[in-house]
Copies of this chain bind each other. A is one copy, B any other.
Amino acid sequence: MKASSTLVFVIGFLVVAVAFVYAVFLALWVKRQKNENLTIARIAELIRDGANTFLRKEYALLAAFAGVLAVLIFLFLPRPLWSEQGSLVENLTMALSFIAGTVFSAIAGKIGIMVSTRANARCAEAATEGIKPAFLIGFRGGAVMGLLVVGSCLLGVLGVLLITGNSSMLLGFSFGASSLALFAKAGGGIFTKTADVSADLAGKVELGIPEDDPRNPAVIADNVGDNVGDVAGMGADLFDSNIASMTAALVMASAIDGSALGVSSMMVIIYAALGLLSSIVGIYTAKIGDHGSPTKALNYSTYVTTGIFLVLTALATLLFDGFEWRVWGASTVGLFVGVIIGLATNYFTDDNAPIVKKVAHASKTGPAFTILSGISYGFLSVLPAMVGIAISAMAAYKLCEPLGPGYAMYGISMAAVGMLSIVGMIISNDAYGPIVDNARGLAEMGGLGEETIRVADELDSAGNTVKAVTKGFAIGAAGLTVISLLGAFMSEVNMAIAEMNVALAAAGEQLIEFLTGFDMLNPNVFFGMMVGAAIPAVFSAMLILGVDKNAQRMMAEIHRQFREILGLAEGKSGVQPDYNKCIDIATTGALKELIPAGLMAIVATLLVGFIGGVNAIGGFLMGNIVTGLLLALFMSNAGGIWDNSKKYIEAGNEGGKGSESHKAAVIGDTVGDPFKDTAGPSINTQITVVSLVASLLATLFLQFHLF
């Protein structure tokens, strides 16, 4: 059968419609659940308001930022408006695509937060009746976010392609999504860890009151942080990765087919649509019995999604003319490597596996050994993922190379699309985490009793375990995506060269040679690589120092409240801390600390590009990818190891709660928090932003550079 663009677009829009309808159905279902405990409802409202405050401020700042960028894009991209080939329509479309990218992602984040901050209270109440109903509320609340994000990704891509018929415009859309992700992920990450660290330090360490104690002025901010970091932030991050992988694939498909609507492009869209469809089925199957294990349920639906995706894409390959089996193979390799990376991550971070136990044991010798062993195992843990990405990239390349020129890099991007086929499940699982984490807090603050807290704890722990596997997919996919973005960058450069050569040929001047690759021994490539390699380290440092500074501010505020609000420390009834003040501090500080880090990465790209030209940018991106992946894996995993070592000790091992080992483990966990929830996951976004900036400015870097 011919994969005509009409048919493919119809399929695409249909799947999007199904996803949206199902999301609305789930959201309404969640809203219908019991929400009768007034204390809990009141606290949940505080959390919701706090999250909305953050989003409002974040989006306001983003709007200003995006406004400036949109004007710049309109003036300069894809070509300066006043240049010979400049086109008012093209530049306007690019600017609008950019705005659409930010708006789509923002709306998905906003709705996700609306649902998650309602699901938390209902999940807590349902937990009084057992694990089965509570699990369903937690998971379905998260799934709304998953469906919305992936649905609006696909919708955006279909829309931009349909309206412009030009896949380069997707770079603008993708850049919009990345800009939002930078704010949401890095900003949310600073917010959540500011609140978490301050709440823990002031509460557990200084005052000796339990976690989630309502006397703690930072306790609501802490719960808000879970939502803005893990729901909105993670959603925006995966929206970004998903769009970027599709964009890279579509840009290269367009170079292969010579048109944005050729069969290679159609394959990308069909794969993405089938991925979303598989996720819908997977989400539907996630249920547990009265005494079932939530971990198994979540893993089961992840594997169901994977299996269905494999079968459906095989069917599509059978059915449609020109859908290549080799490409299917590349995407399958991507999926399998994703599973392997996930299992390896699990080995390092699961508290039933030996590594976490070793770090817990080392804590007996003191905090220095908690840190040293955590850092060491964090370093070790990068190996499987790096090798996995290396193998899948090589396999996808070699599988697709025989199909013809351009197919090899396209194959890598399809491996990334394959890995991200289950992104709907990944986001659902990720958003499930903060909902049940919040539910635990609400159960504590609402006094729902030990048994309910235990149920919530079990749900929470399942979320952490499953996250490890899905995170493997996310990191692997990000790795492959950025490599494909490097390919996309080369495509863009060569398109620009082709255009310039037309003019040069007309003038009878010497033509510019096409780029065929990036030679590491070329001094410009090497120069770019060294600088690019340093950026993720600098970026991480700025974010971690941001958390640090922000936490200092918040600690000062907590101390002030305990000093000035009479009766607060003693827990006099009716006396309440000023939760909003803490939320304000976390919000303002997070956004303030985030901007220099983001600008640094973008300015470095511009400097390198205008100094060393497109070759330097090629090296810059590669250096950035290599150390970015390394540091992201290291920080995420080390953070996970410390977190779970602490939990393992709290479960009564190596001396248990209150022992010296526990104190050491708490220090490890505090170090790990900004590692795994601020810097680590933000690096992906940093790499994507930088890659897209490079692709967008390819023509400018080609024309203007010093050396």
Contact = CB atoms under 8 A, between A and B. Distances in A.
Interface of A: 201, 205, 362, 365-369, 371-373, 375-380, 382-383, 386-387, 389-391, 393-394, 397-398, 408-409, 483, 486-487, 490, 516-531, 533-534, 537-538, 540-542, 544-545, 547-548, 552, 555, 612, 618-619, 622-623, 626-627, 629-630, 634, 667, 670-671, 674, 707
Given A519-B520, A529-B626, 12 more contacts: A368-B667, A371-B667, A376-B548, A382-B534, A386-B531, A387-B530, A389-B530, A391-B527, A393-B527, A394-B524, A398-B523, A486-B520
B517 A487 contact: no
Nearest to A526: B393
Name the 8 nearest CB pairs between A and B, nearest first.
A517-B519, A390-B530, A368-B670, A379-B541, A397-B523, A376-B541, A379-B537, A386-B534
A671 B671 CA distance: 13
A355 to B, nearest CB: 11
Contacts of A622: 520, 529
B534 A383 contact: yes
Given A369-B548, A390-B530, A522-B517, A541 B380 contact: yes
A486 B380 contact: no
7 contacts: A368-B667, A375-B541, A376-B545, A379-B538, A379-B540, A386-B530, A520-B525
A516 B520 CA distance: 10
Q: How would you classify the secondary structure of chain A's contact residues: helix, strand, loop or mixed?
A: helix
User: In the assembly, how many copies of this chain are there?
Assistant: 2
Nearest to A515: B521
B521 A517 contact: yes
Contacts of A523: 393-394, 397-398, 408
Nearest to A666: B368
Contacts of A371: 371, 667, 671
Contacts of A201: 365-366
B533 A627 contact: yes
A520 B532 CA distance: 14
B377 A541 contact: yes
B630 A534 contact: yes
Contacts of A547: 372
A368 B538 contact: no
Contacts of A552: 365
A391 B528 CA distance: 10
Contacts of A397: 523, 526
B365 A367 contact: no
A626 B376 contact: no
A383 B205 CA distance: 36
Contact of A519 (B393, B483, B516, B667): B516
A695 to B, nearest CB: 15
Contacts of A526: 390, 393-394, 397, 483
Given A398-B523, A627-B630, A707-B394, A667 B366 contact: yes
A127 B372 CA distance: 37
A630 B526 CA distance: 15
Contacts of A380: 537-538, 541-542
Contact of A626 (B205, B386, B521, B627): B627
A627 to B, nearest CB: 6
Contacts of A368: 667, 670-671
A393 B531 CA distance: 12
